[in-house]
Structure 1
Amino acid sequence: MKLIILDRDGVINEDSDAYVKSVAEWIPLPGAIKAIARLCRAGWSVAVATNQSGLARGYFSPATLEAMHAELQRLVAEQGGHIELIEHCPHGPDDACDCRKPLAGMFRRIAAHYQLADLSGVPVVGDSLRDLQAGLTLNAEPYLVKTGKGLHTLEKPLPPGTQVFTDLAAVADHLLDARQ
């Protein structure tokens, strides 16, 4: 199975320090939707793992989050793809959950969904260190994109083996060239 796990804000869509709080504020990054669809058409299963503490903070409702994800699915479907699984952490930083990245709860749920013991060989694409750390807990391959907070993340020490790409489209190019 070819599985890839993507962070959402800063990888698929524009990120905001004020939080993405509505469908109108959910703006795909250039090339990201087409990159997801290209991976799907090439046989990849695409999952998303996203911290959404805006829920705990009351910035948006579960229905609004669902509407954002429905828009994501609609746009990907228009390009011939499908995101099979979207996991989100609704908790705030002080809620003591096991799913908020850099913790690995969402990644464990994704692995269980696909009946995998761990995520060895699975690319985890993120724009922050915590995205990569969560995937590494289950032996995933860390891929950093320079979109979102990626350039700021590059200023920090990265986990060994981290591959760095301009954006999600460049990740798709790499994977489709390397693993076909």
Structure 2
Amino acid sequence: MTSPQEGGYNPYGAPQRRSTPLTPRREPARRPGLLHVAVAVLVLSAVPWLLFGAAFTFLPINVQRVIDGGTLAGSPLAGWTAEQLSTLVRGVAAGALAVALVVLVLVVFVHRRRRWARAALVAFTGVLVLTLGFLLVTSASLVFAVLLVLPVVGTALLFTGPVSAWFAGARGRM
């Protein structure tokens, strides 16, 4: 029988400390390269909305020229006053600016390995696809097609193998 001083079993003594932890320390996983590409594409897709939102929210706009030019003839906005049109344009622009800022904040959280931010980006992309898809069909503008492709590609890159494995490595963060 060994004595308690030699490190043997002692039912009445203090618990012995282990020399090594039960679970080995793991080095934090490096961010995959596709995550950086996805973040860059998502930031690039938010830039036009930031510019549009900032320009039409804070810069002076002249909607009277649009009314006088007859551009609105035959549209549902034909009977609106210049003040109503200006309020509509500023409201839409402020909304676009707010959504672009929210998307950029979500992209930062995705880069910090927050899975809820990735899910929120999927929801934002879905709403954007529906909205821009409708505008693309009704106007057949190539601009809407480009604005539609970038966030879809960026969000799809967030679900590739290496990026999904990187997100799966963070079980403690929800």
Same fold (TM over 0.5): no
Report the structure, 1 or 2, having the larger helix content.
Answer: 2
Report TM bin, short chain.
under 0.3
- Structure of higher CA gyration radius: 2
Report the structure, 1 or 2, having the larger strand content.
Answer: 1
TM-score by length of 1: 0.26
Q: Which structure is higher in RCO with an 8 Å CA cutoff and minimum separation 6?
A: 2
